[in-house]
Structure 1
Amino acid sequence: MRTWITVAATELGLVVLGLVAAVLSWRQGIQTTTFAAIGQAPEFVATRYVAPWLLLAAVLVALAGLFAIDAGTRVVRARQRR
């Protein structure tokens, strides 16, 4: 049985899950609030950046990249052995 195929497929699945989770955490890390106009003051939008969510997104992207590199090297090495 070819275990490298199973490992590479699992790693590629983890890449996809990691990227989806990174996008979701990035969206949580940027919060906008709209303040209505009051008298002479105009309406404006305030943006708040939540560092833990943004850090989590960066770590997830880095891990997904490492899994992608590892899966790619497993496939290349398996093809070279043939």
Structure 2
Amino acid sequence: MKPWIVAVLVEIGLAAVCLAGTVASWGNARRATEFVGSGEQFEFEAVRYVPPMLALSTGLAILAGLLLIDAVARTLSARERRVASHTAPPML
């Protein structure tokens, strides 16, 4: 197997893992606390977000995007090299 194909497959796999981590960390960033009403106080739910988990989610999403961009660039450059190798050299 050609090395650029292995690199593209590894990058796509890492991007998938990063996206799974993004979803997991974004879901764990939300903390909900329920407060029970008593007397004239109403019952309500407070939501708090954990900033480090949001930062981790954002960083993983950026990393996944960069890996996918690099995989596409490798694929296109390999295609251009293959097309260039099949063209006839210029006549002198």
The TM-score with structure 1 as length reference comes to: 0.93
Unaligned runs of 5+ in 2: 83-92
Inter-partner Cα distance in structure 2 for 1:20 and 1:57: 10
- Structure 1 position 46 matched with structure 2 position 42: no
Inter-partner Cα distance in structure 1 for 2:33 and 2:71: 41
- Counterpart in the other structure of 1:29: 29
- Structure 1 position 72 matched with structure 2 position 68: no
Q: CA deviation at 1:37?
A: 2.0
Q: CA deviation at 1:42?
A: 1.4
Q: CA deviation at 1:36?
A: 2.0
Equivalenced residue count is 82
SS at match of 2:71: helix
The TM-score with structure 2 as length reference comes to: 0.84
After superposition, the C-alpha distances for 1:28-51 in whole angstroms (9 at most, x for unaligned) are 111111112222211111011111
Higher RCO (C-alpha under 8 Å, 6+ residues apart)? 1
- Counterpart in the other structure of 1:57: 57
Could you tell me the percent identity over the aligned residues?
43
Bigger drift between 6-15 and 31-40 goes to 31-40
Counterpart AA for 1:25: S
Inter-partner Cα distance in structure 2 for 1:2 and 1:45: 56
- Counterpart in the other structure of 1:7: 7
SS at match of 2:9: helix
Unaligned runs of 5+ in 1: none
